[in-house]
Chain A
């Protein structure tokens, strides 16, 4: 399967714990995006990378959230001191940046439940 993959698919944690999610983009894609989707809402942009550089962060990304893409391939999203309001589906997407239209391909998501 050469699509975007995310791990784990589901994560249940207790409030106050730290969690880390991983995203593996499509291999030739230089852009990688993180979105968050809560129940009944559309996905909301969190941050994106061009290769290893983090180019934009949403105001939604509080200082408890940190994302990295150290070698310009896979990315990790860490949430420290989780809160119940962090419960959501975390989606990763990747795209190329060539001329013309570049589709963002989405992964299956990591569903986080904070108890």
Chain B
């Protein structure tokens, strides 16, 4: 079946890099996503990677995909207090198919 797992909590100091890891089980996943959810706010798509890529960089964000191990990571460089939020790893077979979410990683940034 489809399952996405990620560690539940991460705490980093302001200015350090954060790395959030995720594993998924569905080998037919074509798109892998990172969503951000802040308290009282909706889900925001941060970035996504297509399954035939192994890396994607977008400003402070770097996504690494190891398709063989079904492992996805999100690196946030120079983490700021405004990055404190819950980050969800997710996957889908097409970009307009249902999205399967992980449980979320709560990132706390210590000033």
B: number of interface residues (CB 8 Å)? 20
Known: A31-B96, A102-B95. A44 touches B42 (CB 8 A): no
Of all chain A residues, which has the CB nearest B104?
A: A42
- Write the nearest CB–CB distance from A5 to chain B, whole angstroms: 11
The yes or no answer to A91 lying at the interface (CB within 8 A) is yes
Q: Is the interface of A mostly helix, strand, loop or mixed?
A: loop
Known: A41-B104, A42-B103, A101-B48. A95 touches B95 (CB 8 A): yes
- Write the nearest CB–CB distance from A77 to chain B, whole angstroms: 15
The yes or no answer to A33 lying at the interface (CB within 8 A) is yes
Q: Is the interface of B mostly helix, strand, loop or mixed?
A: strand
Size bracket, chain A contacts? 20 to 34
Known: A42-B90, A107-B42. A102 touches B96 (CB 8 A): yes
Which residues of B have CB within 8 Å of A101? 31, 48, 50, 95
Q: Which 7 A-B pairs have the closest CB atoms?
A: A42-B101, A45-B98, A106-B43, A102-B95, A97-B96, A102-B96, A101-B95
Chain B interface residues (CB < 8 Å from chain A): 4, 31, 41-45, 48, 50, 88, 90, 95-96, 98-104
Chain A interface residues (CB < 8 Å from chain B): 31, 33, 35, 40-45, 48, 56, 91, 95-97, 100-104, 106-109
